Amino acid sequence: MLMQRWKWIITGGVQGVGFRPFVYKAALHAQVTGQVSNTPQGVLIEVQGLSEQLCAFEETFASTLPPLARIVTWEREITDPRPGEESFQILKSTGGHGHQVLISPDVATCKDCIADMSDPADRRHRYAFTNCTNCGPRYTITRSIPYDRSSTSMACFPLCPECLEEYENPLDRRFHAQPNACPVCGPRLWLTDKHGALLGENDEAVCRTVELLLAGGLVAMKGLGGFHLVCDARNQEAVHELRTRKNRKDKPLAVMVKDLDAARKLCVLTEAEEKLLARMERPIVLTLARKDAGLAPGLSPDTEFLGIMLPYTPLHHVLFEELHKLAHQPAALVMTSGNLSSDPICLGNREALRRLGTIADHFLLHNRDILIRCDDSVLRVVDGQPQFIRRARGFTPAPIDLAQDGPTVLGVGPLLKNTLCLTKGRQAFVSQHIGDLEHLEAYGFFREICAHLTDILHVEPKAVVHDLHPDFLSTGFARESGLPCLPLQHHYAHIHAVLAENRHLGPAIGLALDGTGLGDDGTLWGGEALLVNTAKLEHRRLARFSQVMLPGGDGATREPWRLARAYLHALGIGEPQDRQWPWLAEHSGADKVVAQMLARRLNSPLSSSCGRLFDAVAAMLGLCQRISYEGQAAIKLEAIQDKDEKGVYTCPIIEYDDIIELHTLELFAQAHAQWSEGACPSKISRRFHLGLIDGLTRLCVGLSEKSSCSTVALSGGVMQNLTLACGLPSALAQSGLTVLTHQSLPPNDACISLGQAAYGTLVLQP
């Protein structure tokens, strides 16, 4: 019987996930010889043995991959046997340019490590930095590829003899676990006051922290991808103080609890939500809050949904174990981003003490450096499937697979909810949530991530794609990059993003429903039906919402009462009386100025925005006159709906010579008429939502018939409205249309960079 040698190159998420020891064990089981190593091309496996041995190895290999492994390509070839080979070996990693290896995202603590920490006889009992090849930090501590300890922030912690033995033993689950550590050789914890005075170390620091939290204190805690600001979620005074100091008046605060049992006591969980909470990424999940849960009332004041998450680091588990001993009821902690509003999350100890000293009373610190800022991911369940609100920790930098290969392109994203995207071959790497590029601190973070992703992926972009708006910092960055620049209108980028996620090539009707983005006609778009053909690179605006002036431009976005006033003006309704419109009473002086702006068309750009329509209805119903965070008015409008109401407002479709208009002004007119007659706001809200869904469905059916295109792609921040996210795809599908929605990214502006980069690869196709 002849000896054979098979050779594989495996690419994907195959480093830092226990892949080589997995191969080693499979080789021992099949009794074959050979070698495995990390190379720039991927994991290289060479296996030698008899035919049945090789088949047994391949069967084991294919059926029992490590839990964190993600194979993208698997290429096998037959090579010449090596005489005299007697064993299977794991070789050292080799670096090099142009690697095909994916970086693993950070992963929640596994059950085995939790068991180690819970065992008083284990040397890692209550150790806050316990990990193995199946869990722990990855992306946030990685400086470069290959993923070896020397290229992570663990390089400064030499392994003790016991940890080194685990690290070098292929049969140990901590073999080549780069963050491997123990209390003897690894990172340590300490607690200080806001001035840096030491109050306790390691386990004592955890115990003191718990005492402070239960006493109503505010603690800044260093985590996996940055700092959290933490307080007792049951303490109303502590929550109020946190909001005041952080300048976060109304925006919801996320809550962490010990386990699923504790989560069930706070929220009404579906099976899909429980699975999402327990995933290894451990995201924040928006769930329906129980009214009798005993939480502080100010956690999520505008909606019945609460963002909740489970522990994902060893420190979290130790913290909740201690809380369980002292608290009289299941503990719940507010865990919100460690930053001032609009700033990036804090990264280092000195930075946190400087920037968060006006918010936190105490600081729980450690000395494992965080190299990459990464906020918590936020998701919700829509019709049984996850929908991203924010994509960051646990998911980035996992790539999005594209429909075809292409050159490397950089998409620099929009102004708000910025991300950036780099393509490499058939994959697109979208960064973690960066934030709003309205401040230099956020722009500095943007530049950090752009440099890091370019370096760690070993790519050089051939072009950069940016928004049409000339004043965005991302646009300025693109123009100063020295690369060929390709402009792409904001809403076309939205549709390119959802098409790229679904690997759709060819024509599609895109509904882009969001706030505002500069259109190619100089007006502000936001309620658009677009034809996008990725095969022919055709872009055409087919229809829009009614155009209404925005008095004061961005000022109207911040003060929705101005939008209600603008809609009334567009309807030809004259000077208001306070008794008619009580919501204008507190703005009587400013309203005179706004009325003049509308009459003279001064600083009042035209907009077809869907988001501004929601704002106007919410303001008219007296729900929200000024917003303290983006989308607040629309969230309040959705929250008050009477779900039993069956009435539907009519939304006419008007055809002009050059464009079709969904007459959304009529939606507002009906809402106003019924409000003036004393109708219940909850019924008006429901009729408005259902009327918009009906109008959009009829619009898409008509456009489909005109264009002979039956595929509809949905994108834009308005698609985070749960009523639309559930109702619109269903209505379109029932009308015989094929519906594409976002699966891997949020529908909001965080997807823009992917759309830009995907468009760029199409433009540069040979």
pLDDT of 99 above 60: no
pLDDT-derived band at 146, boundaries 50, 70, 90: confident
Pairing of strands 255-257, 305-309: parallel
Query: Do 728 and 696 touch, CB atoms closer than 8 A?
Result: yes
The residue that leads in pLDDT, 69 or 678, is: 678
Q: Which residues contact 470 (CB under 8 A, 6 or more apart)?
A: none
Q: Which residues contact 348 (CB under 8 A, 6 or more apart)?
A: 369, 370
pLDDT of 40 above 90: no
Beta bridge partners, 532, equal: 508, 539
Per the prediction, the chain carries an average pLDDT of 93
Distance CA 729, CA 511 (A): 11
Percent of the chain with pLDDT over 70: 97
Pairing of strands 305-309, 284-289: antiparallel
Q: What is the pLDDT of residues 301-348, one digit of tens each?
A: 999 999 999 999 999 999 999 999 988 788 999 999 999 877 899 999
Q: What is the pLDDT of residues 395-424, one digit of tens each?
A: 999 999 999 999 999 999 999 999 999 999
Cα 255 from chain centre: 17
Place of tokens 């004041």: 301
Provide the 3-class DSSP secondary structure of residue 234. Answer: coil
Task: Kindly tell me the sign of the dihedral angle through the C-alpha atoms of 408, 411, 412, 417.
Answer: negative
Beta bridge partners, 200, equal: 191
Angle (CA) 658 660 661, round 5°: 125
Which tokens in the block code for residue 133? 């090849």
Query: Do 74 and 342 touch, CB atoms closer than 8 A?
Result: no
Per-residue CA distances from 129 to 138, 275, 369 (Å): 13, 25, 12
Amino acid 575: pLDDT: 63
Least confident of 172-176, 532-536, 537-541: 172-176
Cα 560 from chain centre: 27
Least confident of 179-193, 447-461, 749-763: 447-461
Amino acid 581: pLDDT: 66
Query: Do 363 and 353 touch, CB atoms closer than 8 A?
Result: yes
Distance CA 497, CA 510 (A): 11
DSSP labels, 51-113? HHHHHHHHHHHHH---TT-EEEEEEEEEE---TT--SEEEPPP---TT--BPPPPPBPPPHHH
Query: Do 309 and 334 touch, CB atoms closer than 8 A?
Result: no
Angle (CA) 115 313 317, round 5°: 55
pLDDT of 585 above 70: no
Q: Which residues contact 536 (CB under 8 A, 6 or more apart)?
A: 507
Place of tokens 């047994």: 56
pLDDT of 576 above 60: no
Distance CA 725, CA 692 (A): 12
Within 519-652, strands assigned E span 524-533, 538-545, 548-549, 606-607
Q: Given strand 4-13, what is the order of strands in its sheet?
A: 70-79, 4-13, 42-49, 33-39, 88-90
pLDDT-derived band at 95, boundaries 50, 70, 90: low
pLDDT of 98 above 60: no
Angle (CA) 173 177 178, round 5°: 170
> Closest by alpha carbon to 226, among 336, 310, 136, 132?
336
Phi, psi dihedral angles at 448 (to 5 degrees)? -55, -50
DSSP labels, 402-470? -SS----EEE---SSSB--EEEETTEEEEPPP-B-TTSHHHHHHHHHHHHHHHHHHT---SEEEE-S-T
DSSP labels, 134-161? TBB--GGGB-SSS--GGGBTTTTSPPPH
pLDDT of 364 above 90: yes
pLDDT of 429 above 80: yes
Query: Do 462 and 454 touch, CB atoms closer than 8 A?
Result: no
- The residue count for the chain: 766
In the structure, how many helices (H) and strands (E) does the chain have? 22, 32
Amino acid 360: pLDDT: 97
Instruction: Calculate mean pLDDT across residues 120-148.
Output: 92
DSSP labels, 164-217? HHHHH-TTSTTTT-TT---TTTS--EEEEETT--EEEEHHHHHHHHHHHHHTT-
DSSP state of 122: S
Amino acid 579: pLDDT: 47
Provide the 3-class DSSP secondary structure of residue 400. Answer: strand
Which tokens in the block code for residue 14? 């195959």
Which tokens in the block code for residue 215? 């006493």
Instruction: Calculate mean pLDDT across residues 367-371.
Output: 96
Amino acid 100: pLDDT: 61
Amino acid 200: pLDDT: 96
Which tokens in the block code for residue 424? 């490499």
pLDDT-derived band at 578, boundaries 50, 70, 90: very low
pLDDT of 65 above 90: no
Distance CA 581, CA 273 (A): 42
Q: Which residues contact 63 (CB under 8 A, 6 or more apart)?
A: none
Amino acid 12: pLDDT: 79
Amino acid 669: pLDDT: 96
Which tokens in the block code for residue 694? 């009906």
DSSP state of 36: E
Provide the 3-class DSSP secondary structure of residue 383. Answer: coil
pLDDT of 246 above 80: yes
Distance CA 148, CA 416 (A): 35
Query: Do 652 and 644 touch, CB atoms closer than 8 A?
Result: no
